[in-house]
Structures are given as structure tokens and as C-alpha cells.
Amino acid sequence: MQLVVARIGRAHGIKGEVTVEVRTDEPELRLAPGAVLATDPAATGPLTIETGRVHSGRLLLRFAGVTDRTGAEALRNTLLIAEVDPEEMPEDEDEYYDHQLMDLDVVTVDGVEVGRITEISHLPSQDLFIVERPDGTEVMIPFVAEIVAEIDLEEQRAVITPPPGLIDDRAEIASSREPGEDA
């Protein structure tokens, strides 16, 4: 199975290094020197990682055969794809690969059906489940411990404890005004 593990950003310097937007929780495993990665677009690859280092909080990679800034800039926005055994599990027991979470049924702790995970959106601050509801609408559920109580791969479901207003329109409005008081 193929997983997107990074997206190539800008060229860095003049010797072929590129910045990388990491999209894996295991960069030391997936983006190590010697790793051969498929690419999207496919014509760009495969690419073999020659060196990697962190500079000012960003991962920089150099690929075999890319020796100058022009070559590095030509790789910009290319997705790096690793081949992963579908049975492989992440090292941390509370981590999951996207393919493991796709199509899980989402239910509340009370057993109320919410829908099915159709997409996982990776944002800088947190990941989101995009859940298709039975009526065809979508709801976004933050993949955080306070909301996602349990992931049960055997039962193919995610159990959530949604705060008021997340999956319904019964949000609790907190106000400092007294009832009947005008603004």
C-alpha cells in the first residue's frame, strides 16, 4: 500500500537541497537516507534520499542525482510516496495510518450513529475526520483525545464524545447578560 509521507517545498541553497513538508509521524523511518520513494507526479521519480538534516526546524533533503538549485526547484510540490505493508501498525499504539481510519463508522458514546469517515484532513494544528452523515451532509470532527474516545479497528468504528454544537445545532450559548437585558 502506498502512503504519502511528504511534499517537497522550496529549494534550499545551491547544492540541490529541498525543504520538505512532512506528512508522516515516522519521518526518521520513512525519510531516512537510502529510502527510495515513488512520486506524484510519477514521472518525477522514483527518488532516492541521499542526505537529510534539520535546519531552523525544517527538514531538508537531498536526492541522488539532484545537484543544483535548478534541479531542486523542479521538484517543488512533488508528493513523496512510501510503500507500506497494509498490516503494518505505527509504533505508538495511539497512532493510526489514514487507510486504517477511512470508512470507519462514527458513533457517539451513547451509540448514536454520526456517519462514516470519508477523508482525513491534516492541518498544522490538528487532524480532522471528514464524516459523511446518513443524509449526505458532512461534519468535521477534530481527531483529538478530548473528542475521539476510542478507535476500534476490529469493530470498524470510531467512538466520539462531541461537545454541544459539533454534530448538531444544539450549541450551548454562554452569555454574561441577564435574560431580558438589551445590549
Could you read off the pLDDT of 32-46 as tens digits, one per residue?
899 999 999 988 889
Contacts of 28 (CB under 8 A, 6+ apart): none
What confidence tier does 115 reach under pLDDT thresholds 50, 70, 90? very high
Rounded to an integer, the average pLDDT of 166-183 is: 58
| Interval 116-162: pLDDT, tens | 999 888 777 788 899 999 998 899 999 988 999 999 888 899 999 99
**What pTM did the predictor assign?**
0.58
For residues 130 and 140, the answer to whether their CB atoms sit within 8 Å is: yes
pLDDT reading at 92 higher than 80: no
Q: What's the grid cell of residue 130?
A: 471528514
* Residue 70, helix vs strand vs coil: helix
Q: Tell me if 28 sits within 8 A of 123, measured CB to CB.
A: no
**Per-residue buried b or exposed e for 122-143, using 16+ beta carbons within 10 Å of the residue's own CB:** eeeeebbbebbeeeeeebebbb
- What are the cell numbers at 86? 497494509
What's at 102, amino acid-wise? M
